[in-house]
């Protein structure tokens, strides 16, 4: 049997070799017995049959109607149709037709053809689909191994004495590794990491490739290509391509294609690295600017909630803080405010207001003076950005809570009485940060057990939505909502107000929204002994 | 927003005035335009002694809008000119009262 196949193969081989179109003869077991030169290149195959073809071949029925062609998308030649012709001995001849019924075309390695650019465009798309540096490195390794070599190794940028590598065998998953090694062990790598132009592959002795560079299971290295990943003005690492001896050396066209790929991979990697550095900076800033979590303090309940204008930004122009009294029985200073505008610029001024107020705490019993000094500290000739806020000095007196309120250009807080009445504090004052002088009129409110004082930003009352999508939530709806909150714990009032505002808004754009509730605990409620500071989240 | 220069009655007109009309929402998207328009009028030659801002068609003024009004007040004061906010809708007056900016913005500091 074996001899009959081999004698047939010789005939077939002679017959096939000269075929102008890619054609291959596969034996019953799926091995390639013979293939035309074009087929060999199309299948990009050294020794074995590509998996897709072997599977299709073994699945061919023994008899019946003519089998349907098998479609496969080749990374280089694009979509390929493989048409089988069965032979009685179990072997089959496979004819390959690439897109547009052209003969399966030249590989990009042949240089200059339209396939180069199509592939490059596709690869660029893949590389730019993530802003996570690790993902980009993985994609680059996976695609480089698939299209340019038998294995790819990406040396991550900024590697010091420890090299961070992403390695990938053709068709396998990329793996991350860290090795303590000198890049100079690989000819051209140290230069590539510094951004120098690559050395031609033929100058690199494949035998010199150190073991840490070669992925497990790769075998002997036939050729090595090292190319830098140029980033935005700084090297973004290096790409090392490895081929087995059977795959042959990199020709100049392949080297230039690898370099074009490296340019795109480098741009994608450095964009991702820059993005993650900025994200880290923003994260650091935000941690300082986020409002604190509020709790029970000196026999008074505090609760706060905040929703930034863009759901993507967690910080913005609204802020609140609670500063516990310096000594037992003293006044706790709570404050809630709003800086004109939104986003990071507003957040920076927010930080300034909060820090200044923190420094002015020793003067907190004189609201007028605090606002006057804050106004001076914020006043600048550069812009007319301003802040509005409410100061609330809170002290428990027996089972009641006394709240001194001073508004500075801010909506007056609302007071929720035990019987469901909602009144507005009479405090009124001017904004801070832009006028020559800041003035305020302080109002004192006494809360009985179960009563609450609600500080809010105009993002709540000016939330546009409702049935028409354009109506403001308004004072009256807030008032009505609060009337139903009589006797509720501080936390529950905050959640109720936030929920109603969110329902009102639905998908609409909105300003920052902040709400803080200061409540006298209901009778019978045992206050926590000692006190807890409001801790940042 | 549009400007309607009032032609001077004579060569020696003591009170050349210009009107800037604010239409629609004065918010973060439109406030820069107002500040730039007023700055351009302040730089005009021969100079305008009075800048009128007609607020009749202003449908909304948010905090950035107020910031812009404060900026043009600062600019006209610095240039020694008069700024008049005219035909103010009720919502604008309410905002000026709440923010304590009415006295500052509406003061008629004649040059």
What single-letter DSSP state applies at residue A102?
P
Predicted confidence (pLDDT) per residue in A19-53, tens digit: 777 888 888 888 888 888 778 777 765 567 888 88
* Residue B24 scores a pLDDT above 90: yes
Rounded average pLDDT over A286-292 = 64
Segment A366-371 long-range contacts (CB within 8 Å, at least 24 positions apart): A367/A391, A367/A393, A367/A404, A367/A406, A367/A440, A367/A442, A368/A406, A368/A439, A368/A440, A368/A442, A371/A406, A371/A408, A371/A429, A371/A432, A371/A438, A371/A439, A371/A440
Contact A234, A195 (CB under 8 A): yes
Q: A176 or A196: which carries more pLDDT confidence? A: A176
Per residue in A398-432, pLDDT (tens digit) is 889 999 999 999 999 999 999 999 999 999 999 99
C-alpha A319/C-alpha A283 separation (Å) is: 17
User: Do A384 and B68 count as a contact with CB atoms less than 8 A apart?
Assistant: yes
Return the axis-axis angle of helices A133-147 and A252-289, rounded to nearest 10°: 170
Closest CA to A119 of A242, A224, A258: A258
Res A47: pLDDT = 61
Query: What would the two tokens of residue A348 be?
Result: 């920076």
ipTM score of complex: 0.85
Query: Burial letters for B68-80: b for 16+ Cβ neighbours within 10 Å, e otherwise?
Result: bbbbbbbbbeebe
pLDDT at A286: 62
Distance from CA of B28 to the nearest CA of A (A): 7
pLDDT of residue A425: 97
Q: Which residue has the higher pLDDT, A10 or A186?
A: A186
What pLDDT sits at residue B81?
A: 94
pLDDT score, position A100: 43
User: Kind of pairing, strands B50-54 and B17-21?
Assistant: parallel
CA angle A360, A365, A370 (to 5 degrees): 40
Confidence tier at A459 by pLDDT (50, 70, 90): confident
* Interface mutation vs chain A, best among B28, B72, B95, B98, most A CBs within 10 Å: B98
Q: In the predicted model, what is the mean pLDDT of residues A102-128?
A: 63
Looking at the partner chain, which of A386, A411, A430 has a beta carbon nearest the beta carbon of B67? A386
Alpha helical stretches, state H, A420-464: 458-461
What confidence tier does A104 reach under pLDDT thresholds 50, 70, 90?
A: very low
Gap between the Cα atoms of A43 and A35, Å rounded: 10
- What is the tens place of the pLDDT at every residue in B47-67? 999 999 999 999 999 888 999
pLDDT band of residue A193 (cuts 50, 70, 90) is confident
Please write the tens of the pLDDT for every residue from A307-346: 776 655 555 678 888 999 888 888 999 999 999 876 677 7
CA atoms within 13 A on the CB side of A19: 25
C-alpha distances in angstroms, A159 versus A269, A325, B107? 14, 50, 64
Tell me whether B39 touches chain A (CB under 8 Å): no
Instruction: Say which residues have a Cβ less than 8 Å from residue B94's Cβ, sequence separation at least 6.
Output: none
Q: How high is the mean pLDDT of chain A? A: 83
Give the tokens for residue A301: 């309940």
Residues A156-184: pLDDT tens digits? 876 567 889 999 998 889 999 988 888 88
**What is the crossing angle of helices A367-378 and A343-359, to 10°?**
130
CB atoms near residue A422 (< 10 Å): 20
Identify the CATH assignment for B23-106 out of 3.40.190.290, 3.40.47.10, 3.30.750.24, 3.30.70.20.
3.30.750.24
The tens digit of pLDDT for each residue in A492-517 reads: 999 999 999 988 988 777 777 899 99
Residue A493 CA to residue A490 CA, distance in Å, equals 5
| Mode of pairing for the β-strands spanning A296-297 and A300-307 | antiparallel
* 3-state class (DSSP) for residue A396: strand
Inter-residue contact A266 to A228 (CB < 8 Å): yes
Q: How far is CA A246 from the centre of its chain?
A: 41
- Subunit contact B101:A411, Cβ cutoff 8 A: no
Which residue is closest to A408 within chain B, CA to CA? B99
| H or E element at residue A304 | strand A300-307
Residues 6+ apart with CB under 8 A from A81: A69, A70, A71, A96, A97, A98
From chain A, the residues in CB contact with B66 under 8 A are 340, 386
Helix (H) or strand (E) holding A12: helix A2-17
The interface residues of chain B toward chain A in range 57-86, judged by CB-CB distance below 8 A, are 62-64, 66-68, 70-71, 74
Q: What is the pLDDT of residue B1?
A: 53
Cβ separation of A430 and B101 shorter than 8 Å?
yes
**Cβ contacts of residue A130 below 8 Å, gap of 6+?**
A136, A139, A272
* Helix pair A114-127, A133-147: axis angle to 10 deg: 160
Using an 8 Å Cβ cutoff, are A386 and B67 in contact? yes
The span from the CA of A406 to the CA of A152, in Å, is 66
Structural domains of chain A in order of their starting residue, each with its CATH number:
12-98 (3.30.450.20), 114-282 (3.30.450.40), 292-520 (3.60.40.10)
Instruction: Decide: A337 and A390 in contact? Cβ < 8 Å.
Output: yes
Distance from CA of B16 to the nearest CA of A (A): 27
List C-alpha distances in Å: B46 to B10, B11, B77: 13, 10, 18
Residue (of A126, A74, A83) closest to A105 by Cα position: A74
Q: Encoding tokens for residue B93?
A: 């007056």
**pLDDT at residue A537, as a whole number:** 38
B100–A431: do the CB atoms touch at under 8 Å? yes
Residue A108 DSSP class: G
Q: How far is A318 from chain B (nearest CA, A)?
A: 12
pLDDT tens sequence across A250-281: 888 888 889 889 989 998 988 888 888 877 77
Task: Compute the average pLDDT of residues A441-458.
Answer: 96
CB-CB under 8 Å, A511 with B67:
no
CA A521, A526, A528, A529: dihedral to nearest 10 degrees? 130
H-run or E-run covering A257: helix A252-289
Q: Which residue has the tokens 């006494």?
A: A446
């Amino acid at each position: 049997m074996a001899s009959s196949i081999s004698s047939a193969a010789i005939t077939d081989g002679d017959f096939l070799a000269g075929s102008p179109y890619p054609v291959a003869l596969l034996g019953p077991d799926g091995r390639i017995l013979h293939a035309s030169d074009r087929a060999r290149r199309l299948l990009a195959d050294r020794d074995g049959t590509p998996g897709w073809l072997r599977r299709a071949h073994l699945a061919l029925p023994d008899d019946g109607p003519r089998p349907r062609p098998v479609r496969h998308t080749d990374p280089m030649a694009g979509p390929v149709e493989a048409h089988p012709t069965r032979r009685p001995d179990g072997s089959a001849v496979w004819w390959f037709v690439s897109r547009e019924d052209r003969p399966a075309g030249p590989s990009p390695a042949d240089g200059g053809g339209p396939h180069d650019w199509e592939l490059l465009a596709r690869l660029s798309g893949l590389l730019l689909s993530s802003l996570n540096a690790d993902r980009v490195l993985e994609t680059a390794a996976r695609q480089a191994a698939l299209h340019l070599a038998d294995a790819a190794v990406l040396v991550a940028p900024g590697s010091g004495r420890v090299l961070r590598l992403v390695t990938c065998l053709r068709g396998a998953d990329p793996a991350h590794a860290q090795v303590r090694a000198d890049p100079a062990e690989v000819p051209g790598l140290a230069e590539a990491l510094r951004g120098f132009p690559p050395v031609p592959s033929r100058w690199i002795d494949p035998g010199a490739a150190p073991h840490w560079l070669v992925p497990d299971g790769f075998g002997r290295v036939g050729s090595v290509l090292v190319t830098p990943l140029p980033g935005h003005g700084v090297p973004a690492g290096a790409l090392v391509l490895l081929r087995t001896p059977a795959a042959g050396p990199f020709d100049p066209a392949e080297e230039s294609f690898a370099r074009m790929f490296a340019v795109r991979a480098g741009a994608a990697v450095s964009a991702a690295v820059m993005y993650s550095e900025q994200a880290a900076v923003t994260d650091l800033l935000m941690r300082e600017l986020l409002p604190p979590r509020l709790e029970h303090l000196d026999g008074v309940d505090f609760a706060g909630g905040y929703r930034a204008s863009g759901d993507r930004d967690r910080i913005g122009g609204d802020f609140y803080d609670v500063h516990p009294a310096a000594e037992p029985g003293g006044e706790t200073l709570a404050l809630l405010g709003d800086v004109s505008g939104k986003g990071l610029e507003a957040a920076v001024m927010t930080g300034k207001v909060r820090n200044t107020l923190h420094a002015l705490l020793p003067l907190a019993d004189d609201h007028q003076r605090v606002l006057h000094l804050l106004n001076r500290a914020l006043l600048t000739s550069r812009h007319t950005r301003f802040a509005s806020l409410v100061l609330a000095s809170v002290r428990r007196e027996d089972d009641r809570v006394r709240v001194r309120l001073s508004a500075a250009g801010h909506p007056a807080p609302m007071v929720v009485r035990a019987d469901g009445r909602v009144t507005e504090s009479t405090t009124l004052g001017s904004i801070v940060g832009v006028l020559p002088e800041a003035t305020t009129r302080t109002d004192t409110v006494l809360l009985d057990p179960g009563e609450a004082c609600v500080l809010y930003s105009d993002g709540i009352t000016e939330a546009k939505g409702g049935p028409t999508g354009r109506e403001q939530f308004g004072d009256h709806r807030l008032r009505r909502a609060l009337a139903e909150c009589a006797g509720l714990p501080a936390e529950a009032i905050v959640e109720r107000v936030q929920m109603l505002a969110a329902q009102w808004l639905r998908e609409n754009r909105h300003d920052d929204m902040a709400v803080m509730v200061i409540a006298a605990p209901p009778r019978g409620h045992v206050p926590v002994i000692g006190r807890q500071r409001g801790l940042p989240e | 927003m549009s400007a309607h220069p009032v032609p001077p009655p004579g060569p020696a007109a003591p009170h050349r005035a210009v009107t800037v009309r604010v239409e629609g929402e004065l918010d973060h998207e439109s406030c820069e335009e107002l500040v730039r328009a007023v700055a351009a009028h302040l730089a005009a030659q021969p100079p305008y002694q009075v800048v009128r801002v007609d607020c009749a068609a202003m449908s909304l003024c948010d905090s950035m809008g107020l910031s812009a009004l404060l900026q043009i007040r600062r600019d006209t004061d610095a240039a020694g000119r008069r700024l008049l906010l005219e035909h103010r809708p009720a919502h604008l007056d309410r905002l000026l009262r709440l923010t304590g900016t009415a006295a500052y913005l509406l003061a008629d500091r004649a040059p």
